[in-house]
DNA sequence: TAGGCCATCTGGTCCT
DNA sequence: AGGACCAGATGGCCTA
């Protein structure tokens, strides 16, 4: 079983990884090319930020110049008499105008390089955001949260491969959310269609770090607003993870990114979900990113449960008989996830994970 | 207003 | 010598 899993999954994983690396490198180069001409404007050169004032004053003591003027003077080291020991090290030289100019130029070049380096780093982080669960262009994870989530994601996938069986959703979310902030935990849990309250209850049962009494989650699972994860479209009352439509049926449910109420065209060239490896199932992270309107944005983390069979069988999730809920659409007023109770004997809603084991 | 996050500048250190 | 990398400092922006 395990060997079969590896033989079937690993090539795909390797291919995805190779593609991703390729994309990353290409994107990085592209970003570089686009940025190069403008990343150090004349204004930047002539008017360094206030932060550089400190350096300017320090630069007066710059002694690494191979100046040709040969001016070497002791810097007021001995003028205090004998009460201070002589300074060791290279003697400071007077800063001529030419030296100052050259020093400034060096510093500006270094600053430009550093800016470029940080921009590249940020581009790489953006690429990383696209491949971890819960990607959104409008509600970006912070850098540190992106790294933490990526680490947990890798560990979780490794665990899955090692065990050769899929974990229950609670375990999976716990793995993903280890060490994450509460807002990010909310986000990930929401992405995985997990009832956060349920999740946190289990965590507490496990002696985890969350405290249920008076926890904001127990009342408003998604009421916490993070400055970076929030947006003008965030609606605490309705939940940031707007459940635009809920319906359950014995046949299962599915997660559908549905701007305008339609399913995504996964075969469309515009579909950007290919950046994300499996397991990401919310529309925002694996579905097409529509950001042309407020309405569209509100769907980034929306879920759609329906008993209808999707045109993409691999994206449909099937409850066992024990997980069947009688049908009937829920109104939009229902708080998010309050009616979703995932238990260990139910199939976790990360359909791509299922795909691993349904081959 | 405090706190979180970020971009940028900067000097030091290491490497090629 | 010059570039890459790093960490500290600083100020801006945003949100609770």
pLDDT tens, position by position, A94-134: 667 777 777 788 888 888 888 888 888 888 888 888 888 87
Ramachandran assignment for A236, one of left (phi > 0), alpha (psi -120 to 50 degrees), beta (any other): alpha
Which percentage of chain A shows pLDDT scores above 90?
3
A64-78, A128-142, A152-166, A175-189, range with the lowest pLDDT: A64-78
Nearest nt to A145, CA vs C1'?
A: B5
- pLDDT-derived band at A184, boundaries 50, 70, 90: confident
Given a cut of 50, whether residue A160 has pLDDT beyond it is yes
Q: Which residue is nearest to nucleotide B5 (CA to C1')?
A: A142
Ramachandran assignment for A68, one of left (phi > 0), alpha (psi -120 to 50 degrees), beta (any other): alpha
Q: What string of H, E and C letters represents the secondary structure of A216-233?
A: HHHHCCCCCCCCCCCCCC
Residue A332 makes CB contacts below 8 A (sequence gap 6+) with A238, A242, A243, A244, A245
- CB A114 under 7 Å to nucleic chain C: yes
- CB A227 under 7 Å to nucleic chain C: yes
- CB A142 under 7 Å to nucleic chain C: no
Pairing mode of beta strands A246-247, A316-317: unpaired
- CB A50 under 7 Å to nucleic chain C: yes
Crossing angle of the two packed helices A196-205 and A169-177, in degrees rounded to 10: 80
**Which positions on strand B lie below 7 Å from a protein C-beta?**
3-12
Q: Report pLDDT for A93.
A: 61
Q: Measured in angstroms, what separates residue A124's CA from nucleotide B15's C1'?
A: 23
Q: Report pLDDT for A9.
A: 36
- CB A36 under 7 Å to nucleic chain C: no
- pLDDT-derived band at A198, boundaries 50, 70, 90: low
- CB A70 under 7 Å to nucleic chain C: no
Given a cut of 50, whether residue A154 has pLDDT beyond it is yes
Number of H helices, E strands in chain A: 12, 4
Q: Report pLDDT for A142.
A: 86
Nearest nt to A232, CA vs C1'?
A: C15
Q: Measured in angstroms, what separates residue A179's CA from nucleotide C5's C1'?
A: 27
Spatial separation of the C-alpha atoms in residues A247 and A287, rounded to whole Å: 20
Q: Which of A103-112, A190-199, A301-310, A345-354 has the highest mean pLDDT?
A: A103-112
Given a cut of 70, whether residue A81 has pLDDT beyond it is no
Q: Measured in angstroms, what separates residue A110's CA from nucleotide C6's C1'?
A: 14
Q: How far is CA A347 from the centre of its chain?
A: 26
Nearest nt to A227, CA vs C1'?
A: C15
Given a cut of 60, whether residue A318 has pLDDT beyond it is no
Q: Measured in angstroms, what separates residue A112's CA from nucleotide C10's C1'?
A: 18
Q: Measured in angstroms, what separates residue A266's CA from nucleotide C16's C1'?
A: 39
Q: Measured in angstroms, what separates residue A52's CA from nucleotide C8's C1'?
A: 13
Structure tokens given for A138 = 């409008």
Residue A305 makes CB contacts below 8 A (sequence gap 6+) with A243, A245, A246, A247, A248, A253, A254, A255, A340
Give tens-digit pLDDT for A267-289.
Answer: 333 333 333 443 333 333 333 33
Q: Which residue is nearest to nucleotide C14 (CA to C1')?
A: A227
Distances in Å between the Cα of A325 and the Cα atoms of A46, A313, A317, A346 are 67, 20, 13, 12
Nearest nt to A53, CA vs C1'?
A: B9
Question: Do A209 and A185 touch, CB atoms closer than 8 A?
Answer: no
Structure tokens given for A300 = 């980034």
- CB A225 under 7 Å to nucleic chain C: yes
Pairing mode of beta strands A329-330, A246-247: antiparallel
Q: Measured in angstroms, what separates residue A57's CA from nucleotide B10's C1'?
A: 12
- pLDDT-derived band at A194, boundaries 50, 70, 90: low
Give tens-digit pLDDT for A302-317.
Answer: 332 222 223 333 332 2
**Which positions on strand C lie below 7 Å from a protein C-beta?**
1, 3-12, 14-16
Return the higher-pLDDT residue of A191 and A54: A191
- CB A291 under 7 Å to nucleic chain C: no
> A182-209 burial, b if ≥16 CB within 10 A, otherwise e?
bbbbbbbbbbbbbbbbbbbbbbeeeeee
Rounded to the nearest integer, the mean pLDDT of chain A is 49
């Amino acid at each position: 079983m395990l060997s079969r899993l590896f033989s079937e999954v690993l090539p795909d994983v390797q291919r995805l990884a190779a593609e991703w690396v390729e994309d990353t490198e290409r994107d990085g180069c592209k970003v570089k090319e686009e940025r190069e001409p403008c990343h150090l404007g004349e204004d930047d050169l002539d008017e360094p930020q206030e932060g550089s004032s400190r350096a300017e004053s320090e630069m007066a003591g710059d002694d690494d110049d191979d100046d040709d003027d040969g001016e070497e003077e002791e810097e007021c080291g001995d003028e205090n008499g004998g009460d201070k020991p002589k300074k060791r090290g290279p003697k400071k030289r007077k800063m001529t105008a030419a030296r100052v100019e050259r020093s400034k130029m060096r510093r500006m070049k270094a600053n430009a390089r550093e800016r470029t380096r940080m921009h590249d780093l940020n581009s790489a982080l953006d690429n990383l955001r696209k491949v971890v669960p819960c990607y959104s262009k409008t509600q970006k994870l912070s850098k540190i949260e992106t790294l933490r989530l990526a680490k947990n994601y890798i560990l979780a996938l490794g665990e899955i491969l090692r065990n050769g069986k899929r974990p229950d959703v609670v375990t999976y979310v716990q793995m993903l959310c280890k060490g994450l902030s509460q807002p990010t935990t909310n986000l990930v849990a929401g992405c995985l269609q997990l009832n956060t309250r349920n999740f946190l209850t289990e965590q507490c049962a496990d002696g985890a770090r969350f405290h249920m009494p008076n926890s904001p989650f127990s009342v408003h699972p998604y009421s916490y607003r993070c400055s970076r994860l929030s947006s003008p479209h965030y609606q605490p009352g309705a939940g940031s993870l707007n459940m635009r439509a809920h319906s359950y049926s014995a046949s299962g449910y599915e997660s559908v990114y549905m701007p305008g109420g339609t399913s995504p065209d996964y075969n469309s060239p515009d579909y950007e979900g290919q950046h994300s490896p499996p397991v990401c199932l919310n529309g925002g992270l694996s579905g097409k990113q529509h950001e042309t309107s407020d309405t569209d944005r509100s769907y980034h983390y929306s879920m759609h449960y329906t008993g209808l069979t999707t045109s993409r069988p691999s994206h449909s999730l099937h409850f066992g008989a024990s997980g069947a809920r009688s049908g009937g659409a829920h109104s939009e007023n229902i708080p998010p996830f309050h009616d979703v109770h995932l238990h260990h004997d139910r199939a976790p809603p990360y359909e791509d994970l299922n795909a691993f084991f349904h081959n």
